[in-house]
Structure 1
Amino acid sequence: MFSQFALHERLLKAVAALNFVEPTPVQAAAIPLALQGRDLRVTAKTGSGKTAAFVLPVLNRLVDLKQKRVEIRALVLLPTRELAQQTLKEIERFAQFTFIKAGMITGGEDFKEQAAMLRKVPDILVGTPGRMLEQLNAGNLKLEHVQVVILDEADRMLDMGFSEDVERLCGECPNREQTLLFSATTGGAGLRDMIGKVLKDPEHLMLNTVSQLNDGTRQQIITADHNQHKEQIVQWLLANETYQKAIIFTNTRVMADRIYGHLVAKDIKAFVLHGDKDQKDRKLAIERLKQGGAKVLVATDVAARGLDVDGLDLVINFDMPRSGDEYVHRIGRTGRAGNEGLAVSLICHGDWNLMSSIERYLKQSFERRVIKEVKGTYTGPKKVKASGKAAGVKKKKTDKKGDKKVVAKRKPTAKPKPNAPLASADGLAPLKRRKPAPAAE
């Protein structure tokens, strides 16, 4: 029960109004420590309730502030606009019975309107690192009085090249008392380096091992001959799988647009989402998917983080992601909050090694699936069996008496090599093992 936490009564009222009853494992582990003021580094799978795990402690810190709202008190950094919008909504929901105000600044929105919002000084500022730095450099953003910094999806921010931006923004908060870092993957050396720079004696909470990050999702691969064959498989899956909503991931914007065009031509209600779309179109695509106006979303990895859609139970990787962490985030769009999901990856000959490396990273073996209606010829790399003949190995043969003969494999016209041992005159006498004679002076 959330009542076990030392939360303000106004926050407990909001929790009850939102029908939150039992805290998730990440909430049960992180909230008590965060309420104590500890720095945290938390790894937990997508859809596990990480947002509430940091929002509630931050609101609890600010709910009884006596000072007038003249400075920003908490900063939340995230990698994408979509995740920032989702987090802002969560903050507003949990703060509905308080006087705490939150604001958001991300790329793709009017710069001057954001500057005007900053002049009103929200208690909590949510945003992406790039636009925050732009407002900071323009003199519109003051962070000296920030008490808490939250880095959500920190691994993704590093992947997107925000490492220096994040470190600078943390440096602009010299009076911060607490830093909370959340991610869905363990990350690599870059993330460890950031933890060392921005966290002070952190508590490390590993809620899931990599192999457990998506235990509620069936993971399958289907081999394909080429991209046109992949498109046929996609259309078969959308026509025959049982699902409420689906997302198809590609590695390029061009391929996303191509697949979207094919789906629309087949009268499938779909939207496309990638970096070339302006903010208005991106919002529309996500809202239509959430409301059921579209059943399928075709997207690049811009949608792999922060997209939380009820009923999204099918993920298709048209292109394999380029890393194990990105794969985890993609398929994390399904199988959320304890629900089951299906993730299908389409594998051509050029995808096999990448797929195998992701299997090793996850310490899992994906289920191999064959659809007879759209079966191709490629089934994976051929296993080459080494044979004596293929390897050029000399074979031993036995004559009728059981004596062993050595038959050298050579071309009929081949010349003997220099210093090679001589055979007997008739070529039939068995060769005896002996040391070669010393070379002539």
Structure 2
Amino acid sequence: MSDWEDEPPAPVETYNSRSFHKSNNYNNSNFGRGRGRGAPSNSNWRARGQDNRENRQNSRPQHDGNKQVITIPSNKVGRVIGKGGSKIRDLEYETDAKIKIGDSGGDTTEITLFGTDEAIAKASDMITDLTKEYVQPAPKNESHYNSNANTSGNFSTTNDYGDSIIDWNKLNAHYEEQQQERWSQLPPIVKDFYKEDPVVQNMSPAEVTRWRFNNNQIQIKRTFDDKPGLRPIPNPVLTFEQAFQHYPEILDEIYKQDFKKPSPIQSQAWPVLLRGEDMIGIAQTGTGKTLAFLLPALIHIDGQPTPREQREGPTVLIMAPTRELALQIDKEVSKYQYRGIKSVCLYGGGDRKEQIKVVSKGVDIVIATPGRLNDLVMARHLNIINFSYIVLDEADRMLDMGFEPQIRKSLFDVRPDRQTVMTSATWPSGVRRLAESYMKDPIQINVGSLDLAAVHTVTQKILFVEEDDKDKALFEFIQNMDPTDKVIIFCGKKATARHIHTELCLKGIESQSLHGDRDQSDREAALDDMVTGAVNILVATDVASRGIDIKDLTHVVNLDFPRHIEEYVHRVGRTGRAGKTGIALSFISRNDWAHADELIKILEEANQEVPDELLSMANRFSAMKIRREQEGGGGGGRGRGGRGGRGRDRW
């Protein structure tokens, strides 16, 4: 991209030959009005950032003038800090003291405690207790454990050389025995709340097949072996009343949202989930998956035999890959008021102390990102064994982001008789592996083809540009926006998103940015500004490609083509939602030729125009791979150079 810090912004030009928007009848005077709110001055924009910094500084914990220094062995410092700082945060929270760890290079480490006398004394006692050496009881006369010992705590044997070897079979058997004992002491749960409507029950197999085909070609089956004795797959419900006629308060909440009829995934998922079955829902974004698992969750919470006030912790856990999606789900949950059910949203970047406080007061639903959930589970603020209804939302995205270890660690102790729901837009091997680990005889619902596909309500357009011309083409597009248009501009890197957002501000164009370097409060403000219409332009990285629901979003611009074609599908799915139409414009440069073949398949599946130049790029990339394989050099990716005319055979 051009280095705009070294040269003044060029005036925006209009290339009539590039007609990639519905209108080109805008001049520079209309440009400012296109934002609909007037442009802020640069000083105001910078002042807003200064206010944010001051607010963050003012929100930092303060302490009194009292302090005390204690000394502990340096090899015990890890006990005080905890993994990722979790223990020291808990200590500060529980004692109201500020704890500062000194240099631990020597044999001892100084720890300085700040706060009131009471807080300091409490923190000192807790740290002393943490760093105690607990003396193990002396072994009996035998100098080594032997394989014939029959104590339940002895899990080692001695080999011929006198070495102690762990007996893993015995240890695993003991663990299973302990787990079974723990699970046997848990209160019973109820999962089946479904009473089938006579009209639904009397649907013929031909009627059911026809309905499923006419509603996005729904396919439904048992994911794994269809064992003998399992109940047949239920018929779909066609109305809200058929699903929830026995739960009038749920129906009242649905009516308040002014929905006309269930979406295809909801029609088929509600009978499955109300019946207490595990379910895998595979559907594109914007198809109503959240409501599909949420309403049965509310009924599950209220229908348990143990009263809510007597339960040891929350009942429902919903895991989401990003904080934006978690907040979106939390917002959706708040729309449905049912018998005083409470929820909390746990995510990194939020106030951890406040989140712990809300959990400790009692909630029914926990919506969490894997990192923060794992943090609170490891710190024992949440006991995962008490959850009886678990949802893994956007499971493919969680795996793409590398969250599988956190998921497995957090769910290590979960009760085996729970109900588990998994949603995904795709069905890769990793999602299947996760389903095998945590689900029992799940029913899988596929809405549409299992092949990767973009929503058909979006017109997908391609613009071929050199890398250095992207900025110019982007600002031409922005100049031609209608006043009512809303756009997300997706960038491949945080630095690119910052650069574009800065240039928009310098040009007096109101916009917001969303990427990993922004504080959580700023990210939430950015989304709120788009939803409310305070701004019409959001510059973002792929943190915005899933879970963000801006109902009147008209355009998506892929300034940088994503590294994985799955992300392209999710980016495009931000527009054209809830039956509306949208436009997706993707800038393609010579660096993107490795994606040409996959992009062609997406375009063809959605009956979109496939440019000849894209076909040519795909053919040349395929020929290059064959040539390199013959030469023994392997295939190519995005290619080196790609700027200034280098790598001519790649274009």
TM bin (shorter chain): 0.7 to 0.9
Q: Select 1:197's aligned residue among 424, 432, 437.
A: 437
Counterpart contact for 1:40–1:204, Cα < 8 Å: yes
Q: What is the CA–CA distance in structure 1 between the aligned matches of 2:567 and 2:420, rounded to whole Å? A: 25
Task: Name the residue aligned to 1:85.
Answer: 327
Shift of 1:173: 1.5
Counterpart contact for 1:45–1:184, Cα < 8 Å: yes
Amino acid at match of 1:167: R
Range 294-303 or range 10-19, more displaced: 10-19
Amino acid at match of 1:295: N
Shift of 1:211: 5.4
Task: Name the residue aligned to 1:58.
Answer: 297
Task: Name the residue aligned to 1:130.
Answer: 371
Q: What is the CA–CA distance in structure 1 between the aligned matches of 2:367 and 2:303, rounded to whole Å? A: 20
Amino acid at match of 1:274: H
Output aligned runs, 1:233-382, within 5 Å.
Answer: 233-242=473-482, 244-360=485-601, 364=605, 367=609, 381=617
- When normalised by structure 1's length, the TM-score is 0.80
Task: Name the residue aligned to 1:43.
Answer: 282
Tell me the SS of whatever aligns to 1:182. Answer: strand
Structure 1's 382 and 125: CA in aligned 2 closer, same or farther, altered over 3 A? Answer: closer
1:2 and 2:232 equivalent?
Answer: no
Amino acid at match of 1:61: H
Structure 1's 157 and 348: CA in aligned 2 closer, same or farther, altered over 3 A? Answer: same
Task: Name the residue aligned to 1:17.
Answer: 256
Q: Select 2:267's aligned residue among 24, 28, 31.
A: 28
Task: Name the residue aligned to 2:151.
Answer: none
Q: What is the CA–CA distance in structure 2 between the aligned matches of 1:112 and 1:280, rounded to whole Å? A: 16
Amino acid at match of 2:445: L
Instruction: Provide, for residues 173-232 of structure 1, a one-character-per-residue CA deviation record: whole Å limited to 9, x for no partner.
Output: 12442100001223x221111111111111111102245541111111110012x31111
Task: Name the residue aligned to 2:354.
Answer: 113
1:74 and 2:316 equivalent?
Answer: yes
Shift of 1:118: 1.4
Amino acid at match of 1:197: S
1:231 and 2:474 equivalent?
Answer: no
Counterpart contact for 1:271–1:297, Cα < 8 Å: yes
Structure 1's 8 and 169: CA in aligned 2 closer, same or farther, altered over 3 A? Answer: farther
Q: What is the CA–CA distance in structure 2 between the aligned matches of 1:289 and 1:131, rounded to whole Å? A: 26
Q: What is the CA–CA distance in structure 1 between the aligned matches of 2:292 and 2:615, rounded to whole Å? A: 44
Counterpart contact for 1:334–1:341, Cα < 8 Å: yes
Counterpart contact for 2:596–2:617, Cα < 8 Å: no
Instruction: Provide, for residues 65-118 of structure 1, a one-character-per-residue CA deviation record: whole Å limited to 9, x for no partner.
Output: 451333211100000111111111211212x14211111111001221111111
* Superposition CA RMSD, Å: 2.2
Shift of 1:168: 2.5
Shift of 1:366: 5.3
Task: Name the residue aligned to 2:62.
Answer: none
Tell me the SS of whatever aligns to 2:284. Answer: coil
Counterpart contact for 2:343–2:365, Cα < 8 Å: yes
Structure 1's 369 and 246: CA in aligned 2 closer, same or farther, altered over 3 A? Answer: farther
Q: What is the CA–CA distance in structure 2 between the aligned matches of 1:315 and 1:359, rounded to whole Å? A: 18
Tell me the SS of whatever aligns to 1:116. Answer: helix
Shift of 1:8: 1.6
Q: What is the CA–CA distance in structure 2 between the aligned matches of 1:176 and 1:103, rounded to whole Å? A: 24
Q: What is the CA–CA distance in structure 2 between the aligned matches of 1:369 and 1:77, rounded to whole Å? A: 40
Counterpart contact for 2:319–2:393, Cα < 8 Å: yes
Shift of 1:362: 6.7
Output aligned runs, 1:408-427, within 5 Å.
Answer: none
Range 56-65 or range 318-327, more displaced: 56-65
Amino acid at match of 1:337: A
Q: What is the CA–CA distance in structure 1 between the aligned matches of 2:439 and 2:328, rounded to whole Å? A: 25
Amino acid at match of 1:4: Q
Tell me the SS of whatever aligns to 2:556. Answer: strand
Q: What is the CA–CA distance in structure 2 between the aligned matches of 1:113 and 1:282, rounded to whole Å? A: 19
User: Could you tell me the percent identity over the aligned residues?
Assistant: 35
Instruction: Provide, for residues 279-300 of structure 1, a one-character-per-residue CA deviation record: whole Å limited to 9, x for no partner.
Output: 0100110000111111100000
Structure 1's 30 and 344: CA in aligned 2 closer, same or farther, altered over 3 A? Answer: same
Shift of 1:381: 4.1
1:179 and 2:410 equivalent?
Answer: no
Q: What is the CA–CA distance in structure 2 between the aligned matches of 1:123 and 1:135, rounded to whole Å? A: 16
Structure 1's 352 and 88: CA in aligned 2 closer, same or farther, altered over 3 A? Answer: same
Range 63-72 or range 240-249, more displaced: 63-72
Task: Name the residue aligned to 2:33.
Answer: none
Range 242-251 or range 353-362, more displaced: 353-362
Instruction: Provide, for residues 46-65 of structure 1, a one-character-per-residue CA deviation record: whole Å limited to 9, x for no partner.
Output: 11111000001111111244
Counterpart contact for 2:347–2:369, Cα < 8 Å: yes
Which runs of 5 or more residues in structure 1 are unaligned? Answer: 371-376, 385-441
Aligned length, in residue pairs: 375
Structure 1's 272 and 330: CA in aligned 2 closer, same or farther, altered over 3 A? Answer: same
Tell me the SS of whatever aligns to 1:338. Answer: coil
Structure 1's 97 and 68: CA in aligned 2 closer, same or farther, altered over 3 A? Answer: closer
